[in-house]
A and B are shown apart, each in its own frame.
Chain A
Amino acid sequence: MQVEDLEGVPQRCLVDTGTATNRFGAWIAEAVGIDLEGALEERIVVGGVTATAHHARAQLTIAGVRYDAPVTFCDPWPFAFNLLGQEGFLRYFRVTVCARELWLDVEPEPRV
C-alpha cells in the first residue's frame, strides 16, 4: 500500500476484518505531511497498548487504485505493520485469501 505520495516505499498491512477504520502508525502522518492538529483525538487500546489516536483522511493506493480513506493514526504504534479495516479498505476492495498457498488477492469493487 502506498500512502499519499510516499512513492517507492510501500507499507505493509494486515487486513483486519475486525477493525472498522484503517489504523496506521502516527509516524506515517508526519512523513507524508498530514496535519493532525485539530483532528478528532481519542485514547484507544490497540494490540494491548493504550495509544493516542487521531482520526483523519489519507490518499491510499492499493492494487493500482488511489482513493481517499479514513485513517486513524496512532501513537505509540505497537505493530510492525499497519491495519486495514472495513470502512477504509474492505468496502472498496474484494479480498480472497488462500492461507494454504500463502497468497492474498485484492480486487477493487466495481464502484471504486
Chain B
Amino acid sequence: MMHTFQVARQSYELDRASIEQALEAVLPEPIQEHYVVVQGRRFPPKQVLTCAIGLDRADFTTHQARRILKRLGFTAARKEARPEDSAPLGAGPHGGRQAAALEPYIGQWVALAGPTEVLVAADTPQEVLAWLARHERRAPYGMFRVPRTTADAEGGGPF
C-alpha cells in the first residue's frame, strides 16, 4: 500500500516493497543509535530514506526518517535496547549469545566489533573489507564466514 510523505517540502509516494527493493544490494552503514530493520538487516534510518528517495541526508532528520519508516511497517529501535544482551546465559561461548547474534548471518561474511556486535555482513570478504575501509571501522573480534554446518565450524570434511 502506497503512502504519501512530505520530506524537505517535497512529496513522495512510498511503500514497504519499494524500500526493500532499494536496499536489496546495499550494505548497512554503522548504527549510531537508531536503526530500522529491513529484511532482517539493521540500517540507520537516514540511510534507508536516502537510498529510497535519493534525497541528501542533510535534508531530513533521523526522527523524520524513523516516523516515515514506522508508518510503512518497519521495526524501529535503539541500539542500546538489545534483547539478546539481557537473555539468560545458555551453553557455549559467551553464554550462547554470540551464536544467537550470528544466526541471521549464516553463510555470510561478518565483521565483529564485539562478541555479539555485528558491524557488517556481506556475501564476500572483499565486500566486508571494503565496507570497513569506507567507514574507517575496525573489527577487533575478527571477520569470518558464519558457518553453515557443524563441519564448517569444526573443520570436518566429508569422509
Contact = CB atoms under 8 A, between A and B. Distances in A.
A50 to B, nearest CB: 11
B143 interface: yes
B142 A31 contact: no
**Number of chain A interface residues as a range:** 20 to 34
A80 B139 contact: no
A110 interface: no
**Number of chain B interface residues as a range:** 20 to 34
A95 B91 CA distance: 25
B138 A80 contact: no
Contacts of B137: 8
B2 to A, nearest CB: 42
B103 interface: no
B139 to A, nearest CB: 5
Given A81-B144, A102-B93, A9 B157 contact: no
Interface of A: 6-12, 14, 16, 25, 27-28, 30-31, 46-49, 78-81, 83, 102
